[in-house]
Structures are given as C-alpha cells and as structure tokens.
Amino acid sequence: VQLQASGGGLVQAGGSLRLSCAASGRILSINIMGWYRQAPGKQREVVALIASGGSTNYADSVKGRFAISRDNAENTVYLQMNSLEPEDTAVYYCYCAARQGILTTPRDYWGQGTLVTVSS
C-alpha cells in the first residue's frame, strides 16, 4: 500500500491549507485513515483520524480549526486546516490501517510527509 500526500506549503497565520492523501496498491479495506505531524525537535503526534464509518477523533490543539474527511471509494483522506497558527508548523504524515487480503490483519502504512509552514 502506498500513500501519496499533497497540499503542504507556506501560509501566514490565520490562513488555510488543505491536505490530501490517496492510498493505492493492493487494498481490501481501509479501516482508519488520518494525519500525524512532527514538529522540529518534537515527537510525532496524532492530528486527526477518521474511521471508515465516518467517526472522527481530533487532537485537542486542532479541535474547531481542522476538519478531516475521506472518500472511501477513492481511498482518499483530506485535512482542511483553518485558522492556522505558527505552532501548526510541522511535517504532516498521512496514515492508514489497511488490509490487503481476507486472511490478513490490518497493518499500518505511512506517507512520505508534507511540510506545512505557518509564518507569524
């Protein structure tokens, strides 16, 4: 399973960005899709996750500002980021837990990361 993310870039504080990530390859089903981020000198942290049924989970720091969504038919997840703050600057990694076959258990897959820089 390969994850291809796009949409990062440089934005001023208060601005918006939309990240996209498409999963491809041999995929039977994808349970969880989402985004993690890692700021310089910090550990990777969860930003937002979405289950196949649509239930979501957000980090407290992004609640009310970020919105995650997915297109199950296209195996794609999106992250709409509004009211961006300099503290949101990080490399954002796409994530999914996917099964490749009926007899296999879900495995974790990661994208290559896309840089989001928020200037003050």
**pLDDT tens-place string over residues 36-94:** 999 999 999 999 999 999 999 999 999 999 999 999 999 999 999 999 999 999 999 99
State how far the Cα of 65 lies from the Cα of 113, in Å rounded to an integer: 21
Judge residue 54's burial from the number of C-beta atoms within 10 Å of its C-beta, 0-12 exposed, 13-18 middle, 19 or more buried: exposed
Tokens of 37: 């981020």
CA distances from 9 to 1, 2, 6, 15, 16 (A): 25, 22, 9, 11, 10
Question: Is the pLDDT higher at 42 or at 101?
Answer: 42
